[in-house]
Amino acid sequence: MKSFPLAQRSIPRESVHTEGNVFPLSASPANASLEQAGDSLDIPRYKAYSLPNFRDIPQMSGLSEALKFDIEVVGQVLPFKVDNFVLEQLIDWERAPEDALFVLTFPQRAMLAPAHYDEIAALLKSGADKPRIKAAANRIRLELNPHPAGQLSHNVPFLEGEPLTGMQHKYRETVLFFPSQGQTCHAYCSFCFRWPQFVGLAELKFACREVDYLIEYLRKHPEVSDVLFTGGDPMVMSTRNLAGYIEPLIEANLPNLRRIRIGTKALSYWPYRFLDEDGDALMALFERVAGSGRHLALMAHFNHPRELGPEAVQRAIARVRQTGAVIRTQSPLLRHVNDDPALWAEMWSRQVDLGCVPYYMFLPRDTGAHDYFSVPLVRAWEIYRQAYQRVGGLCRTVRGPSMSADPGKVQVLGTSEIGGEKVLQLRFLQGRDPDWVHRPFFASYDESATWLDELQPAFGEPRFFFEDHAGTD
């Protein structure tokens, strides 16, 4: 392990700011004195484990061979990668295999339907060759709804008649941009709806190398105020690569572009991204965004309060905040991981203590191992409400539980009884049509429904109001 006295390292020369402006790694919130010896932190080398080498993970030695075989079976179909920070600082090995962070990152037998599991297990046991296993895995993958919410067909923007792959424009104000070098993550979440990108379903991959198209598109679409860099995790890119996208965007001086967001799980899975030498350059880049008068938001993904505990994570958060960037947090509600109101209350409250702003509680999308993770809508609302009731107003910036469905982001507002009929009340937080947003609508009460398409309109209506628009495509 290498120890970096971070506070003393020099600032990249291309920085337009004075050195004093680029904050050294300062104290964690508990330690306000900035320049003490405690500022140095051991920064380990990144090491990833996946199917070929997960049996070498020292902490796995206590787990049964049957469990390792399950990982091997399920890992043929769903993505699996974990890194040394997750292994050493996040997973509670005393509680494995039930531990929430273990479930979050390691494939579980029950993530596959029994027939799918048996098929892959039989192939492995019979010593089938790789192409055969892969063919079976790909067939199973295609049965797991790899593209929920019409991502590919509906949301691709066009420039002069040409589709812009690697971008999505679904909601008026915000364009999503998928930089091609950012289509992986430091570790993979076993629930991830982006899983097809990680398992090499090649025709399903979409990513963009050309920031020029994005700039051109933004010029022609003055209604867009936000660009959201997403992936994968854009923070797997080197600062140089990331700057290759962000700097031209800033230099284009588009009056409509007010906010740049970056979706990331790196604060949790590899906080050293913000603390090592390339992290210095990253902080300088973040400051240049702020210096251009634009708002930079890190849309940080945390699923469990334990992820906020390690010192490296707290330092990374403090450091990002010092650049003027705002960290907003979001997570899906996941059975086996965080389906407990006390846990959410603790998570939001710790986030606020660290200066982050709770943003969304999502419901996991209907893809991949959805059946394993999903929580019924009614139960999800109860968890949200019970958690929300326990926290103070600064935590109540969070909105949810929300489904990112084809017509938009739909929030479950709760259950009620209207005219003798038990109903679920919902509304759009974001809509394909902006006019849908914040119009309450009602579905027949359904205790087991886990997604919008399992709900029926209440009061004997033939369809939901938004289906008049979207129902034909």
Q: Does 174 interact with ligand PLP (rule: CB under 6 A)?
A: yes
Rounded to the nearest 5°, which phi and psi values hold at 155?
A: -110, 5
Q: How far apart are CA 17 and CA 288, in angstroms?
A: 8
Q: How far is the CB of 373 from ligand SF4 (least distance, A)?
A: 12
336: left (phi over 0), alpha (psi -120 to 50) or beta: left
Q: How far apart are CA 362 and CA 192, in angstroms?
A: 12
Q: Does 171 interact with ligand PLP (rule: CB under 6 A)?
A: yes
Q: Does 39 interact with ligand SF4 (rule: CB under 6 A)?
A: no
Decide if 268 contacts 90 (C-beta within 8 A): yes
Q: Which stretch binds ligand PLP (CB under 6 A): 18-26, 163-171, 431-439, 451-459?
A: 163-171
Q: Which stretch binds ligand PLP (CB under 6 A): 137-145, 156-164, 169-177, 189-197?
A: 169-177
Rounded to the nearest 5°, which phi and psi values hold at 67?
A: -65, -40
Closer CB to ligand PLP, residue 280 or residue 406?
406
Instruction: Tell me how far the alpha carbon of residue 207 is from its chain's centroid.
Output: 17
Closer CB to ligand PLP, residue 129 or residue 473?
473
Q: How far is the CB of 254 from ligand PLP (least distance, A)?
A: 18
Q: Does 264 interact with ligand PLP (rule: CB under 6 A)?
A: no
Q: How far is the CB of 437 from ligand PLP (least distance, A)?
A: 9
Residue nearest to ligand SF4 (CB): 192
Closer CB to ligand SF4, residue 15 or residue 76?
76
Q: How far is the CB of 193 from ligand SF4 (least distance, A)?
A: 7
Q: How far apart are CA 232 and CA 230, in angstroms?
A: 6
Beta bridge mates, 444 = 423
Closer CB to ligand SF4, residue 25 or residue 185?
185
Closest CA to 64 of 97, 99, 103, 108: 97
Q: How far apart are CA 127 and CA 33, in angstroms?
A: 59
Q: How far is the CB of 131 from ligand PLP (least distance, A)?
A: 35
What track of x and - describes contact with ligand PLP for positions 382 through 411 (by CB under 6 A)? ----------------------x----x--
Q: How far is the CB of 301 from ligand SF4 (least distance, A)?
A: 6
Sites for ligand SF4 among residues 292-351 (CB under 6 A): 301
Sites for ligand SF4 among residues 226-285 (CB under 6 A): 231-233, 265
Which of 105, 190, 430, 450 touches ligand PLP (CB under 6 A)?
A: 430
The sign of the CA dihedral 134, 137, 143, 144 is: negative
**Residue 192: contacted member of ligand PLP, ligand SF4, none (CB under 5 to 8 Å, by partner type):** ligand SF4
Burial 61-88 (b: 16+ CB within 10 A, else e): eebeeeeeebbbbbbbbbbbbbbbbbbe
Q: Measured between alpha carbons, how far is residue 122 from residues 110, 125, 178, 231, 418 in Å?
A: 16, 5, 37, 34, 53
**Residue 265: contacted member of ligand SF4, ligand PLP, none (CB under 5 to 8 Å, by partner type):** ligand SF4
Burial of 400 (0-12, 13-18, 19+ CB in 10 A): buried
Q: How far is the CB of 430 from ligand PLP (least distance, A)?
A: 5
Q: How far apart are CA 42 and CA 4, in angstroms?
A: 7
Decide if 351 contacts 391 (C-beta within 8 A): no
Decide if 22 contacts 63 (C-beta within 8 A): no
Q: Does 189 interact with ligand SF4 (rule: CB under 6 A)?
A: yes
Residues of this chain that interact with ligand SF4 (CB under 6 A) are: 185, 188-189, 192, 194, 231-233, 265, 301
Binding positions for ligand PLP, rule: CB under 6 A: 168, 170-171, 174, 176, 228, 404, 409, 430
